């Protein structure tokens, strides 16, 4: 049913948003306490983080929901996804003054942070999806066993 599929997408996007937001908050904490220590963080950042995280979460929609991807297509879509994330974060970061474009170290720190967060969120998401697939396969196996025993009728 379409509603179940739509709810899965919304739940997935919310989970992606939550993961990205959590990682960005940790990154901001690391930047403001270790890399470029500051006593305060502007309150505007509290709105900027979820806004940018929401845009990043929406980029997950480049992956199709109705079919399995081959390795080549998955690789291409992942690269496009990564480039979109870089564009969003670097663009918003420039606009919001999160980094200094005239300092190569600042740009490098942003790029490294984006790569780390992308890798972490992707790994957690992949692991969750693999666990979900394992549970579904187990349920299917149990159903087929019950059906073979005559416990379930069509």
Q: DSSP labels for 66-93?
A: SSPPPHHHHHHHHHHHHHHHHHHHHHHH
**Which of 49-53, 111-115, 141-145 shows the lowest mean pLDDT across its residues?**
141-145
User: Is the pLDDT score of 58 beyond 60?
Assistant: yes
- CA 119 – CA 125 distance, rounded (Å): 10
Q: State pLDDT tens for residues 120-139.
A: 999 998 888 788 878 888 98
End-to-end CA distance of the chain: 20
Instruction: Report the pLDDT averaged over residues 142-147.
Output: 84
Instruction: Report the pLDDT averaged over residues 113-123.
Output: 93
User: Is the pLDDT score of 59 beyond 60?
Assistant: yes
3-class DSSP assignment, residue 43: coil
* E strand or H helix at 128: helix 104-148
The model's pTM:
0.80
Q: Are 86 and 38 in contact (CB under 8 A)?
A: no
The pLDDT of residue 57 is 94
- Provide the pLDDT confidence category of residue 19 given band limits of 50, 70 and 90: very high
Q: Are 20 and 121 in contact (CB under 8 A)?
A: yes
User: Is the pLDDT score of 1 beyond 80?
Assistant: no
Strand blocks (E) in the chain:
none
User: Is the pLDDT score of 47 beyond 80?
Assistant: yes
User: Is the pLDDT score of 6 beyond 90?
Assistant: no
Instruction: Give the rounded percent of residues in the chain with a pLDDT score beyond 90.
Output: 49
- Provide the pLDDT confidence category of residue 2 given band limits of 50, 70 and 90: low
């Amino acid at each position: 049913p379409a509603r179940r599929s739509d709810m899965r997408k919304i739940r997935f996007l919310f989970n992606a948003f939550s993961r990205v937001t959590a990682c960005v908050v940790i990154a901001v904490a690391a930047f403001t306490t270790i890399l470029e220590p500051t006593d305060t963080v502007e309150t505007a950042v509290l709105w900027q983080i979820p806004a940018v995280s929401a845009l990043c979460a929406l980029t997950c929609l480049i992956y199709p929901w109705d079919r399995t991807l081959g390795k080549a297509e998955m690789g291409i879509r992942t690269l496009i996804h990564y480039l979109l994330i870089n564009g969003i974060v670097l663009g918003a970061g420039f606009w919001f003054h999160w980094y200094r474009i005239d300092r190569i170290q600042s740009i490098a720190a942003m790029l490294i942070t984006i790569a780390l967060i992308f890798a972490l969120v992707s790994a957690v998401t992949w692991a969750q999806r693999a666990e979900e697939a394992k549970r579904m396969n187990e349920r299917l196996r149990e159903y087929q066993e019950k059906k073979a025993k005559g416990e379930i009728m069509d």
